[in-house]
Structure 1
Amino acid sequence: MLLPVSLLVRRADTVAVIGAALVRAAQGVGHRRIACWLGRSEATVRGWLRRFRMRAGPLREAFTALLCAVDADPALPAPAGTVVADAVAAVLAAAGAVARRWSVPPSQPGPLVVSPWLVASAVTSGRLLTSLSTVDLANTGRPW
C-alpha cells in the first residue's frame, strides 16, 4: 500500500502539522509552546524536533541540492543560526523552487499551490523523520 504524500512514515500526524512545528522550532519556539499551540503532547512534538535535529545536516544538504537541480539560478538560503533553522530554510527554498518551476501558466484557471511540507514528504518518500543517516531523494526521472 502506498503512503499518501500528506503523511510521513511512522507518524500519525500529517506532514503539514509536523512542518508547522518545525517552522516554529526554527523560529526559536520551544517544544512545550509548540505542543500547546498544536494541541499535541509534549512528548510527540519533542520526538519530531529531536529526530529532525538529528537529520538536519543531511536534510539541509539534500534540499539545497534539490534547489540547485530545480532552479537554474537559485538564491541559496543564508545561514539561519541553528541546524534546525538552516534545514527548514533549505526545505522552504527547495519547495519554492519546485512551485516556481511547475506553476500553472496564467492563461489556465487557478494557481498551483504547493505546500513546502508536501514537497518535503514527496521527495523523501515520506521519510523526512526516519532514522536513516542519509537522505535519499525520490527518483523523479523518466523511466525511459
Structure 2
Amino acid sequence: MSQVLLPVFALVRRADLAEVIGTALAAKASGAGVRVIAARLGRPVETVRGWLRRFASRAEAVRHFFTVVLVDTGVDPAPPGPVRNGFADAVNAVVGAWWSAAERWPGIGKVSPWWAACAMSGGILLAPSWPSKLINTNRP
C-alpha cells in the first residue's frame, strides 16, 4: 500500500484543483446549470455533473461538518441560516467556516475558501468515503 501527501489545493481522487471545483459548487448554489458551469470552466459536462452530484449526495453532512468548524473557530460565531436549498446551505457553511477561521487566524484569509475546505476536510470533500473520521497523526 502506498501513501501520498496531497497539497492543500487538491482533493482526493480529483484531477482538478479545489478552486475549479469550488467555483462549480458556488455557481450551482447560485442557481447556474451544469452546462453553463461546464462551459465557464472549460470542463466536460459529465465531469462537472459528477462533482455536483457527489456534493449534493452529502450536502447535509458537509453543511453539518463545516457549521461545526464555523462555530468552533469563530470569535463570535453566528451559524448561517438556511439559504435556498441543501446544496446552497452546504456551500454557505463551507464559506462561513473559512470566514470564521480567517477572523481568528488572518493568514487563512489569504487562501480561498476551497483551499481551506480541502485542508479542513483532509482532502476528502468529494471522496467516496465522506463523511469519515479524519485521521489523527498525533501520537497519544
Same-fold status (TM-score > 0.5) = yes
User: 8 Å contact 1:15–1:118 — kept in the other structure?
Assistant: yes
| Aligned partner of 1:62 among 65, 90, 97 | 65
Quote the residue 1:114 is aligned against.
111
Q: How does 1:57-136 map to 2 (within 5 A)?
A: 57-103=60-106, 113-136=110-133
In 2, the alpha carbon distance for the partners of 1:58 and 1:37 equals 28
Deviations 1:29-76 (A, max 9, x none): 011100000000000000000000001000000000001100132121
In 2, the alpha carbon distance for the partners of 1:77 and 1:138 equals 27
Quote the residue 2:53 is aligned against.
50
User: What is the deviation of 1:135?
Assistant: 4.5
| Aligned partner of 2:36 among 17, 23, 33 | 33
In structure 1, runs of 5+ residues without a counterpart are 105-110
Quote the residue 1:7 is aligned against.
10
User: 8 Å contact 1:6–1:14 — kept in the other structure?
Assistant: yes
Quickly say closer, same or farther: Cα 1:29–1:80, change in 2 above 3 A. same
Which protein has the bigger helix share? 2
In 1, the alpha carbon distance for the partners of 2:37 and 2:133 equals 28
Quickly say closer, same or farther: Cα 1:56–1:122, change in 2 above 3 A. same
In structure 2, runs of 5+ residues without a counterpart are none
In 2, the alpha carbon distance for the partners of 1:98 and 1:61 equals 16
Q: Runs (4+) of structure 1 moved beyond 2 Å?
A: 132-140
User: 8 Å contact 1:77–1:89 — kept in the other structure?
Assistant: yes
In 2, the alpha carbon distance for the partners of 1:133 and 1:12 equals 18
User: 8 Å contact 2:75–2:104 — kept in the other structure?
Assistant: no
In 2, the alpha carbon distance for the partners of 1:74 and 1:138 equals 26
Deviations 1:104-142 (A, max 9, x none): 5xxxxxx951210011000111100012252545759x8
Please, what TM-score do these two structures have when normalized by structure 2?
0.89
In 2, the alpha carbon distance for the partners of 1:94 and 1:137 equals 17
User: What is the deviation of 1:82?
Assistant: 1.1
